[in-house]
Structure 1
Amino acid sequence: MFKVKIAGMGKAVGSLKVKSEELEEQMNVTSGWIVKATGIDSRHYVNFENGENALTLGIKAAKQAIKNSGIDPKQIDCIIGANGSPLQAIPCGASLFQRELGLGDSGIPCFDVDTTCYSFGLALFVAANLIHNQVYNRILIISSDAPSPTLPKTSNEVRALFGDGAAAAIVTKSEKDEKSALHHYQNANLRIGSRFNLRL
């Protein structure tokens, strides 16, 4: 058990809202198929004309998480990028987030955990380990993806599911009188899935 807590969270989505009815027309499928198959009424896409992308969404979510945590950004001592797909190969996406947050010269360690849909969960487990072992005290995790430009080339099932969005969390140590902890993690070699029990 790791005595950690999520001190603050943030989120952001693309500014273009696309209803399932619109997408069904583009995909040339039966009206009502998307909602029936997925339960999704609408999704958000980034607006590239306004400069939106996975990086800007991640920064927006991160700033919310930092504000909600009540800490000074300079108190962050590690940044983990946890994207479904890498923003770029070298340097890691986390270093891009670091720069855009105005922490480019801070020396804060940055690295990515890129394991597709498992990225955030695995990053949380890694962060909990690092905090539990007193390597770091306040870790910022940013998970941001904007796959919309590639979706028209995918299958209808995939296109119906995905949108563009980001989430971020500040992970810190729990105080002695707080119950929050990461109680369980099950990897199963990422073939079956990961399971977490984080009580807040």
Structure 2
Amino acid sequence: MSTGRAAVITGIGSYVPPNVVTNDDLSQRLDTSDAWIRSRTGIAERCFITPGTSTGDLAVEAGLRALKSAGDERVGAVVLATTTPDQPCPATAPQVAARLGLGQVPAFDVSAVCSGFLYGLASAAGLIAAEVADSVLLIAADAFTTIINPEDRTTAVIFADGAGAVVLRAGSANEPGAVGPLVLGSDGELSHLIEVPAGGSRQRSTDRPVDPADRYFHMLGRETYRHAVERMTSVSAEAAERVGWRLEDVDRFAAHQANARILEAVAKRLGLPEDKQLSNIERVGNTGAASIPLLLAEATAEGRLAAGHRVLLTAFGGGLAWGAGTVVWPELQTF
């Protein structure tokens, strides 16, 4: 039975590690060039963690900024969306909550690869609707470079590390910051398009030797491109329709920063002009689950995203999993 409680964004924060890696840096060890990378991905530079830094470290930094933005020292629960947990067991979220001084609050991980932030939003909104918590810290963080083959130029030039976070509180559906209806989907029959083949129970339960390459992230780029464009286009249109918006009513389009070509294709199909598209892929690359909240935090700080803007969010990633949602952007401080 619905309580009528909506999840309302009250704070936002982000963090990228200080180690900036340019296309020229990568071209020194890979058969590639700045021109090749820019033309195929739209990326000029990205941030990599250094040895000893983990996803949890990134998450704590983004979480601190989001809590400060919201003016909160405590929340009722923590949700962490990530594909690169600090350990296979236990989940990373309880450790992050402890490091943030949040005590013994409910805390758990969500795994939906690049769609993790939107799946995390659904989880956080559910905790609030079910009155498990009156406020939730949702963090999306990935140290993607820990699962990328550094010698594979098709993935090593795209993926990077970072974290973004939002604080949500119980409120009403008609106030600024309220998360609109979320539309989520998946297709496990196509899971082979994006995967890390080894390391899980399927591989560990056999006696077969492991190909070292199978410990790294694999992606079939051409097929992934097609499905990403189709799914993000259709799910974005559905999310706008559910909240009663025409696509021309959208002020800002915040899509998972997967690849510049994908972003351009989706925006074109939706009829959203360039001045409505938020993007930071050129500077941070594809940061997995962190992509959308990192983009929203940066755009807010720079004034590209302002209070009152009607924002359409969408993402696509491994699983396959995809999603979209809407929010009228609230007045937020950034740190």
TM class by shorter chain equals 0.7 to 0.9
Query: 2:55 and 2:126 mapped to 1: Cα distance?
Result: 27
Structure 1 range deviating more: 178-187 or 94-103: 178-187
State yes or no: 1:9 paired with 2:6. Answer: no
Q: State the one-letter code of the partner of 1:142.
A: I
Amino acid of the structure 1 residue aligned with 2:13: G
The answer for unaligned runs of 5 or more in structure 1 is none
| Cα distance in 1 for residues equivalent to 2:135 and 2:94 | 16
Quick one: structure 1 residues 176 and 53, their matched pair in 2 at CA, closer, same or farther if it must change by over 3 Å?
closer
Among 140, 145, 157, the residue aligned to 1:143 = 140
TM-score (norm. length: structure 1): 0.87
Question: How far apart, CA to CA, are the structure 1 residues paired with 2:160 and 2:79?
Answer: 22
Whole-Å separation in 2 of the counterparts to 1:188 and 1:149: 27
Match of 1:44 among 43, 47, 50: 47
Q: Is the 8 A contact 1:174 1:180 kept in 2?
A: no
1:173 corresponding residue in structure 2? 170
CA distance, structure 1, for counterparts of residue 123 and residue 146 of structure 2 = 31
Over the residues paired in the alignment, what is the CA RMSD in angstroms? 2.1
Deviation at 1:181, TM superposition (A): 2.4
Structure 1, 27-36 or 8-17: larger mean CA deviation: 27-36
What does 1:21-170 align with in structure 2 at a 5 Å threshold? 21-48=24-51, 51-73=52-74, 76-103=75-102, 106-153=103-150, 155-170=152-167
| CA-to-aligned-CA distance 1:136-170 (integer Å, 9 cap, x gap) | 11101112111224434463221111111111111
Return closer, same or farther for 1:124/1:176 CA change in 2, 3 Å cut-off.
Answer: closer
Note closer, same or farther for the CA distance 1:47–1:192 as it changes in structure 2 (3 Å cut): closer
Please tell me whether the aligned partners of residues 147 and 162 of structure 1 are also in contact (alpha carbons under 8 angstroms): yes
Please report how far the alpha carbon of residue 180 of structure 1 lies from its aligned counterpart in structure 2 after TM superposition: 3.2
- 1:149 to 1:130, Cα distance in 2 relative to 1, 3 A: closer
CA distance in 1, matches of 2:158, 2:174: 41
Q: Deviations over 1:4-43 (max 9, x none)?
A: 2211111111111011121122212244101111111100
How far apart are the structure 2 equivalents of 1:100 and 1:192?
30
Instruction: Tell me: CA distance 1:31–1:97, structure 2 relative to 1, closer, same or farther (3 Å).
Output: closer
Deviation of 1:199 after TM superposition, in Å, equals 2.1
Q: Post-superposition shift, 1:88?
A: 1.8
Aligned pair count reads 194
Cα distance between partner residues in 2 of 1:168 and 1:193? 19
Structure number with greater CO (CA < 8 Å, separation at least 6) is 1
- Sequence identity of aligned pairs in percent? 25
Which 4+ residue blocks in structure 1 deviate beyond 4 angstroms?
none
Q: In 2 relative to 1, CA 2–117 (structure 1 residues): closer, same or farther, beyond 3 Å?
A: farther
1:67 corresponds to which letter in structure 2?
Answer: K
SS at 2:104 equivalent: coil
Matches of 1:33 and 1:12 in 2, distance apart? 28
Indicate how the Cα distance of structure 1 residues 31 and 164 shifts in structure 2: closer, same or farther if over 3 A, else same: closer
C-alpha distance in 2 between matches for 1:30 and 1:44: 18
